[in-house]
Structure 1
Amino acid sequence: MSLEIVGVSKTYGNGVKALKNLTLSIGNNMFGLLGPNGAGKSSLMRTIATLQDPDSGSVTLDGIDVVKQKNEVRRILGYLPQEFGVYPRMSALDMLHHLAVLKGITAAGERREMVDALLHQTNLWDAGKKSLSTYSGGMKQRFGIAQALLANPRLIIVDEPTAGLDPAERNRFLNLLASIGRDVTVILSTHIVEDVRELCPRMAIIAAGEVLLEGSPSETLRALEGQIWSRIVPSDAELKELEATMHVISTHLVSGQHEVRVFSAASPGSGFEPVPSHLEDVYFLNLSEHGRRIPAAA
C-alpha cells in the first residue's frame, strides 16, 4: 500500500489556509501524524478520505487518483473521524449490519460472519446488543474502529482517536490499533505524542498546514542525543529569564517547580544536566523552530 501526497494545498472560504503545498509519502505501516490543534491534520485526513477536494496538488492511493476516483478509494478505505454520528438507540450489532449493507455487503451470511468477527475483534461482543447510547467513550471508539474495518479496507484513517479517553480505555484502544496495523496501513492523526511513540514506526509533524519533519521516531531521537539539558527552576522570574536567553523547548511542573528542558549543543549553563531525549522534545523543538521562522505581524 502506497499513499502519495504531493503539493496539496487547501484554503477554506473564510480565508484559513489549512494545507500549504504539503507533500508526504506513506508506506505500508502504522504512520503517525503529529501536530497541535489547528495544524491541518483533520483537513488532510478529510482530503485523503475523499470528503473534500484540495485546491491544488495530488493524492494517489496505490495509483488510484483520490480526487478523480472517489468511489474506487472508498471501497478500500476505512475512516474514523474525530467526531462520528451514530443512531444512539440502535445496538452496535444492528448498526454494523446497517453500515455493512451500505458498503455493499448484502449477502446475509457473509454480513453476519463479518459483523460477529468485528465485535469479537474489538471486544464488544458481550455488549453488541446494547444501545450505543450506553457505551463509554472507549467503547464508542472501539465501535468506530469496527465500522471502519467493514469490507476489509486496505487503508484506515483514525483522527484524534484517544482524546478524552481515560488511561485504561486508551490502552485498550491502542492495543487494538496495534493489532490492526499489522495487516493494513493505518494513519493515526493526533496531538498526543505518546500515541505515536508507542505505535508508529514512521511519523510526520505538521503545523500551520506544513510538514516540519518526516522520519522514524528512533531516527529523530538519535538526532537529538547529547543536546537536551534539564534543570529545576524555582521561580517564575528565573523561568522568564531563561526563556529569553536560551532555546527552551518545554517546561513541566515537578512538585510545584518548573523543570526546564533546553536544546543546546553544549551545556547551556550552571545547574543544567544532560538528559535522554524524548519524542516530546522532537515535537516541541520542531514547533518552536517553526514559530521562530514565522515573521511577527506588523
Structure 2
Amino acid sequence: PPLPLVILADHNSVMVPGSDTAVVSKEIPAVVRSRQVEGSILTSLAVEDVWVHLHGERRAESLEGFTFPSLQRRIDRVHLPTAVLNTVRSVYTVTTPSDHKAVVLQLGPQEEPGGAPRFRFPLEILESPDAAAALREVLEAHSHVPGPIESWWDGVRSLLREFAGRWRRENPSSGFTELQALVRESTPLRLAPGAWEFLQDLGYEETSVALAYQRLVRLQAQEKQEEFEERMLTRLRAQLQPQEARAQQASERRKRIHEMVRQLRDRQYLQRVRDSKGVVQE
C-alpha cells in the first residue's frame, strides 16, 4: 500500500484566527481566499491538523503552541491522514535558534487492550557499544528464521523484551533516571504512577494529563541536552589537559633557555674584563 501522506510546512498564515493568533485583526481578502483554498485542498487529501486533533481549537498560547513568537501566531503545522491519527501520542513546540519554534510530533502504536502499557524498547541501552553489539548478534541470528513476517516480528519482539530485561538486570549502573522511566511508562492519556508527584515536586501544576505528559517529554529533552553538554565539556577538558601540559613544558623550556643565555652573557662579560684588566676575582 502507498505510504501515508504527511504535510509539514510553514504556511505563513493561520487557519483559525480565533485560536491560532493572540490578536485577531482584519485580514486582506487575498489571505482569506488563500485560506479557503488551503482548507479545501487539505479536506480533499483527507488530512487533519495534528495540533487541533490533540488539543482542539483552544488558544494555542496557553499550550505554548505559537510557532512564530514575535507575532504570537501558529503558522507552522503538521497534517496527518485521518486514518493514522490514532498513532499521535503528543505534539508540542520547542524553541530553536530560528525566529520560528519547532513543532515536535511523537507517534506510537495503540496501547494494548485493557489499558496495559505497550512494551517499548529502551533506546538508551543502545548508547552502550557493548549492548548495541550484543543486540546486533541476537537479531542477526534471528534474521533467517523462515515463516510469515508476522511470526518473524513476534519473535523479534520477544527477543527485544528479553534482551532489555536481561541487560538491565546485569547492568544496574546503566539504569534509567527517574524522569526517563516516567516518560517510558506514560502516554498522553495515562500517566505513570508517581508522575504527578514528580512534576509537583518541581513546581509544575499542569491541568490535564496531556499537558503533564508534554511537560515530562520536554523535561526529558532538557535532561538529555544537559547530559550532552556535560559530555562535551568533559571531552573538551580531556583535550585541553595535554595542551596545558605542553604549554607548561614550553614555559619551563623558555625559562631554562633564558637562564642559559643569562649565564652565557655573564661569562662573556667576565672574559672581556679579564682581557682588558687581567685576572678578575669572581
- The higher-RCO structure (CA 8 Å, 6+ apart) is 1
Structure number having the greater helix percentage: 2
Please indicate, yes or no, whether the TM-score normalized by the shorter chain is above 0.5: no
**TM-score normalised by L of structure 1:** 0.24
The structure number with the bigger radius of gyration is 2
**TM-score normalised by L of structure 2:** 0.25
Structure number having the greater strand percentage: 1
